[in-house]
Amino acid sequence: MTSLLVIGGARSGKSRYAQSRAEAQARAESPPLAPYFIATAQAFDNEMRERIKRHQDDRSDGWITIEAPVDLAEAITRWSTPGRVLLVDCLTLWTSNLLLGDHDIAAATTRLIQAIAVARGPIILVANEVGWSIVPDNALARRFRDEAGVVNQHIAEAVSEVQLVAAGLPLKLK
């Protein structure tokens, strides 16, 4: 596995699956790879702080965390080496950060795809599938849903493997 996108709905088990794949990849190499977690979440409220803490508690002490809420391509370029496995969680929050920060999402996605293509070690990316629910009732939410869907399409095309996780079960799409 060189690059993997793990996609699924909210609370589907995608982060747990992605972490287990990263840890298995790290153990499979000799010497073992160092696991790096690239976090895109920003803690703007207590609920998000609790979610972040829960994800941190799920990881063993061996994980190194890199914060990259906007500059994801740069973080991948900087931290990807043959001795590391990178886990990016998640592209959906990254897309939201770009949208709310009025960044050029298409340009940032192009940079991300280029960073994935030249990554010097394995990389696993997590994203929410947001297109399977009701049509949002406001323009910002509809734009977010559309942007997230386009980002997911481009990343799925760029990676070597795609797994859909539903009810904790992975289904290989690519």
Indicate which residues carry an active-site annotation.
Answer: 55
Phi-psi region of 31 (alpha: psi -120 to 50; beta: other; left: phi over 0): beta
Residue 61 CA to its chain's centroid (Å): 20
Question: What is d(CA 153, CA 172) in angstroms, rounded to the nearest whole number?
Answer: 15
Residue (of 147, 143, 149) closest to 131 by Cα position:
149
8-state DSSP, 83 = T
Residue 88 · residue 95 · CB < 8 Å: no
91 and 152 Cβ atoms separated by less than 8 Å: yes
